[in-house]
Amino acid sequence: MSDRPRAGRAVTLVAPVTAALAHIGPAATWLPGLRHRCFPALAGAGRPDHVALTFDDGPDPVSTPRFLDLLDALGVRATFFVLGESVVRYPAQVRETVRRGHELGVHGWSHDRPWLPSPGRDARELARAARAVHEVTGRPPRWYRPPYGILTSGRWAAARRARLRPVLWTAWGRDWTADATPASVRATVAADLRGGGTLLLHDTDRAAAPGCWHAALGALPAIIGGCHDAGLALGPLSEHGVGTTTDPG
């Protein structure tokens, strides 16, 4: 389809396409494709033999360790977009994520009311979150992904001031819903994920239906296996080869 990412091989997973269609709304079908066509670097389009694996909304002292253990077992590293308020609350979890070889991006200070832009507050909170990650890990974060992908002009400017690069996604698993299952997540991912894509999943139910992270965790082995079967490597955004310029300029 024309709205799918162009580059790379398709990822074949076990769930049928018909099942995927039941889980994808209009926003999922056209928004990532539109972004990919118009702003490929913002969408997270990278080298065609690679998939960037990203998780939002953590850290979570209950669920994040389960993801770290599974990723260790599968030999895959990822980018975790964390919330500043959780970074200062669970610093040991943040340091453990970095110790295991993963990288951190900034998802904001909190997940509250992201649809209400407030340039002053957005700038303060983004800088505060980036500073928290830097102080806890000793490394400045490089990436920014706003909650729900709502990247206002104010948040864009705030990211530039905080020396963060906005990156959204080309495929997701709709793993935040109450009825998500490993099979539904696999099917939804398979519908849109191609080589060169950036995959969005969640390592916590912090901003979603209670317990929904089990669906993403359960889907991960098949998603990663499907990528490997297609000849695609998975890794963090720093290894993805995202374009060196920020699209909207």
Residues marked active site are found at: 56, 202
Q: Which residue carries 């400045």 as its tokens?
A: 140
Supply φ then ψ for residue 165, to 5 degrees.
Answer: -105, 120
Rounded distance between C-alpha atoms, residue 164 and residue 183, angstroms: 34
CB of residue 32 to Zn ion, shortest distance in Å: 16
Helix, strand or coil, per DSSP, at residue 191: helix
Cβ 83 vs Cβ 111: under 8 Å: yes
Q: Which two tokens stand for residue 175?
A: 């793993």
Do the Cβ atoms of 137 and 94 come closer than 8 Å?
A: yes
Q: Give 56 or 203: the residue with its C-beta nearer to Zn ion.
A: 56
Query: Considering beta carbons, is residue 105 or 147 the nearer one to Zn ion?
Result: 147
Q: How far apart are CA 179 and CA 52, in angstroms?
A: 25
CA 206 to CA 203: how far, in whole Å? Answer: 9
114, two tokens: 């992201």
Which lies closer to Zn ion via its Cβ, residue 57 or residue 103?
A: 57
In the complex, what is the shortest distance from the CB of residue 25 to Zn ion, in angstroms, rounded to a whole number?
Answer: 17
Least CB distance from residue 82 to Zn ion, whole Å? 10
Cβ contact 76:226 at 8 Å: no
By CB under 5 A, name the binding residues for Zn ion. 56-57, 147
Least Å from the CB of residue 111 to Zn ion = 6
Least gap, CB of 107 to Zn ion (angstroms): 6
Query: What are the DSSP calls for 19-66, one per residue?
Result: HHHTT--HHHHHHHHHHHHH-HHHHT---TTEEEEEEEEE--TTTHHH
